[in-house]
Amino acid sequence: MTTMTRHQQKDIKLIGKFVEVYCTGTHGRVEREAVILPETLGSRTLCPECAAFLTYAVTRRLKCPLEGEKPTCKHCRTHCYAKQQLAKVKEIMAYSGRTLIMRGRLDYLWHYFF
Using rule CB under 5 A, residue 50 touches Zn ion: yes
Minimum CB–partner distance for residue 28 and Zn ion (Å): 9
The size of the chain, in residues, is 114
Angstrom CA distances, 18 to 32, 58, 64, 83, stand at 16, 13, 20, 19
Using rule CB under 5 A, residue 35 touches Zn ion: no
Using rule CB under 5 A, residue 47 touches Zn ion: yes
Using rule CB under 5 A, residue 80 touches Zn ion: no
Q: Which is nearer to Zn ion, 19 or 64 (CB)?
A: 19
Q: How many residues bind Zn ion (CB under 5 A)?
A: 4
Binding part of the chain for Zn ion, among 46-54, 73-81, 87-95, 98-106 by CB under 5 A, reads 46-54
Alpha-carbon distance 17 to 44, whole Å? Answer: 7
**Amino acid code (one letter) for 65:** P
* Torsion of Cα atoms, 53 then 54 then 57 then 60, to 10°: -100
- The answer to whether 46 and 32 have CB atoms below 8 angstroms apart is yes
Using rule CB under 5 A, residue 23 touches Zn ion: yes
Question: Among residues 7, 13, 27, 105, which is the contact residue for Zn ion, using CB under 5 A?
Answer: 27
Alpha-carbon distance 37 to 6, whole Å? Answer: 15
Give me the residues that bind Zn ion (CB under 5 A), please. 23, 27, 47, 50
